[in-house]
Structure 1
Amino acid sequence: MGKTYKGCFAAVFIFLDFLVLLLSYRITQAPGLYYIFTGIILLSTIFYIIYKLYPHFRNFLDDHVDIPFLYALTVLLCSLAFLRTGVLDLLALRNPHHVILSSAEFTMERHNIFHILDYSVYTLEGMDEEEEKLTLNIPRDFYNTYSYAVPAESLDKTSETQTYAYPETTLFEAAYLPGSRKVLSLSAQEIPEAEDSRGVSSLLQEETGLGSLQVKITSVIDYTTMEGTITDLKDYTGEELKKGDSVTIRGTMNLLYPYNIQGFYEIKEGDEVDFTLNSVSTENGILLETEYLNLITAP
């Protein structure tokens, strides 16, 4: 009974490892070390199956070593990397990490395993706000959207590695999961030359200088315009606004879909959202401009 329990214990971890590979790395996007661990688990499992199927072989080994224990231990040790990634991603799913990258470079690496399985790995690399290099895993759609903004004749279709680099005047804002570094959303913004001369850090400070607010939505006008009431000033640094003010929120892009929610949830009346202010106008009522909304609570 104890040996069967050890086999079931290993099976649970193998299932969890597969889920991490599928959901966090889309099977083919994991670091090479993960596939080494996968290979060790696969070979160990094959050996364990042979051990279970042949009684004479099993009886001989049982006299010398506890194979089920060693099998379960091997699977557990190899699964630690998968479990760490899965836990970090799961904890950050509702509130993913955000980063702004400059000097961005999109890369596609083609791989061929035994001339049978062809697949490509897509990455985004750039300098973050701390001037440190960061590499993120992106889906194919993001790569096609941003890397093919270059004439087709400039791309080498036959090469194993294909890259497209953006100048420092283009910033990319990415929301990603910290464990697998899987990018969930990505947007680009051009910096005017005059502002670029002062550096990315000063621009970021200006963009976020007004702080953020929390607002309860009272009406959805269209996909870029909503009305609401301020419920929390959070880290707002200006003097024009106060709690309880009725405001109009206008987006530079579609505001219906919360930035921090994966799926097809649409913001509606009664939802509470927070957002970073781009600008405030009080000429004809209070008009707030932002790029996206984060859902806080839903009715």
Structure 2
Amino acid sequence: MNFGKALAVAAAPASRLGLIRALVGGYTLYYLAKRRPMLRRLVRTDESLFAPVGPVRVLREPLPAPVADRLNDVTLVTTALFALGAGHRVVGPLHSALLTWTLSYRNSWSMIYHNDNTLVLHTLVLGASRAADAASLDALAGRARPVPHPRYGWPLRLMNASSSAAYLLAGIAKVAGPSGWGWAHGDGLRRQVAVDGVRKEVYGSSAAPAAYALYRHKHLFTGFAVGSLVLELGAPLALLNRKLGKLWALSMFGLHWGIRVIMGIKFRYQMSGVSFTPWFEVERVLRLFRRG
């Protein structure tokens, strides 16, 4: 295989990058708006739970609750503008910074949600790129119709690379743990499903019905464990071939829905499918509407 050719950034249409910006922004707007009441309650909880992560480490103590509320509200406003592609040269970087702060601040209270990382990374890439040259309010206000160019391809490649890196790290963490490569036997995964189910039952929730049905079938967990390791450790290979990348993205999408069914754990950004859109020619949807 010619690795240089495989890693080269091909020209991509501006509409593809623009539509993905709109999808990521639209998802983020829904995600944050739905959690606005929760975020207001969170910043008013016991200050002893505050353990700053990421950029929030500049703080020695929590922000006053009203200040945190206003930052959350401003982030919502920039999210809407980002999704619409309005004033992107200013809004893009500003929204990226505010989203990074907002989600880091949320993760600084009681629990870290690692599934937010990919959304933040994707937003940082989009905010720093020319993601509003098409499929945006900025494009409607202008007259130029951009032609396909690598400037619209590299952000997509970088988004895919950040996704691949996140899954690669997850795979490395599994084999670097106490079980080592023995994690592939499935015993650790099976125990994890059992512990998660017991924890839910103890704290008033309920384990997923599929967990009860599948627990007795040890060989299935071996298959699940091997499959997850192949997908995670092999993630960088998806960057070398477009067809392989699409197959990998569809497989990971299915993996997250499988986790939802078996363990009841929701990786919302990934389960929405938006996380995997940079692997596909999503602009074809726009062409269908134009034909209609």
Normalised TM-score (structure 2): 0.23
> Which structure has the greater CA radius of gyration?
1
Higher strand share: 1
Q: TM-score, normalised by structure 1?
A: 0.22
Identify, as 1 or 2, the structure richer in helix: 2
**Larger relative contact order (Cα-Cα within 8 Å, sequence gap ≥ 6):** 2
